[in-house]
Amino acid sequence: MSEQLEFLWSSPSPDPAAYQRAPLPEEPRLELLQSLISERLKRPFTITITENRQTMMSLRPQRNGSMNVRLHKFFLTAPDDVLNAVADWARHPRDKAAGVVVDAYIRAHAPKREQLPVAAESLQTRGKVHDLLPLYHAVNHAHFNNAIACAITWGRAPHRHRRRYMRLGSYAPHENLIRIHPHLDEEFVPEFFVQYIVFHEMLHAHLGIGETANGRRSIHPPSFRLMEQAYPDFARAEAWLKQPKNLSRVMRARRA
């Protein structure tokens, strides 16, 4: 279970006796952060320091009207401009300027989770119609200079049930694995479309999955969209998917 320490702080005129905290080596940075948030937030708040590797920072309104500011402990060694950005974000979570600074700090300092090894025998690249491996190698050579080193497989056949959407592919960074939906392994699905989905997921592997200032995943940032739209078959693949009959057939397909 992740360790966390909670620090109580009230604003604008805190009573030192109203909170208790354990001493930390980063204590001066914590005091500066408390002061900066106090100047901006103008309401009672608490700071909780965590080791959560999923969410680096978050705001949680409390029933007593105060605000809980949750931050990963690596913010306690952040430079002044980052602490100022955190304080601006606490006041206004949609502050774009603060988000840019905080996002850059998170990308550079967030702890990395270990990648889970993928057993080779669990990978299935050759389908009844399409073989993912040559498509993967072709895309890797043409668009990524053979720099992508993740694995790829057909995903598992889903249970039969009514659905309104379908995720045609996915990239799991902690497995370093791309999965392509098995409903695309059909004769009516053109190879160029399957290859486009492979490219889309490889692009995720290339750019990584970032986080916004509030800890949410940033899956399709502007840089992703620009590179995706530069893909030679982007327009053709999008046009094929937008044909109602094609999407309907993919949704109904069953893998043998």
- Alpha-carbon gap, residue 234 to 238, rounded angstroms: 6
Q: Does residue 26 have a pLDDT over 80?
A: no
Most confident of 40-49, 116-125, 162-171, 234-243: 234-243
Residues 76-94 have a mean pLDDT of 89
Q: What is the pLDDT of residue 130?
A: 96
pLDDT band at 97 (very low <50, low <70, confident <90, very high): confident
* Phi-psi domain of 80 (left: phi exceeds 0; alpha: psi -120 through 50; beta: other): alpha
pLDDT band at 200 (very low <50, low <70, confident <90, very high): very high
Mean pLDDT of the chain: 78
Multiple choice CATH, 120-252, 3.30.2010.10, 3.30.365.10, 3.40.50.2000, 3.40.30.10: 3.30.2010.10
Tokens of 226: 């620009």
Q: Does residue 42 have a pLDDT over 70?
A: yes
CA atoms within a 13 Å half-sphere pointing along the CA-CB vector of 106: 27
pLDDT band at 54 (very low <50, low <70, confident <90, very high): low
> Mean pLDDT lowest for which of 52-61, 113-122, 178-187?
113-122
pLDDT band at 173 (very low <50, low <70, confident <90, very high): confident
Q: What is the pLDDT of residue 112?
A: 60
What percentage of the chain has pLDDT greater than the value 90?
33
Number of other residues whose CB lies within 10 A of the CB of residue 148: 20
Q: Which segments within the chain are labelled E, that is strand? A: 5-9, 45-50, 57-61, 67-72, 151-154, 169-172, 177-180, 210-211, 217-218
107-165 tens-digit pLDDT? 787 766 555 555 555 789 999 999 999 999 999 999 988 888 899 999 986 655 445 55
Q: Does residue 5 have a pLDDT over 80?
A: no
Q: What is the pLDDT of residue 118?
A: 58
Q: Please name the amino acid found at residue 29.
A: R
**What count of residues does the chain have?**
256
What are the backbone angles phi and psi of residue 71, rounded to the nearest 5°? -135, 145
Sign of the torsion formed by the C-alpha atoms of 173, 56, 108 and 99: positive
What percentage of the chain has pLDDT greater than the value 70?
74
Nearest to 47 by CA among 64, 32, 30: 30
Residues 161-172 have a mean pLDDT of 72
Residue ranges of the domains in the chain? 5-109, 120-252
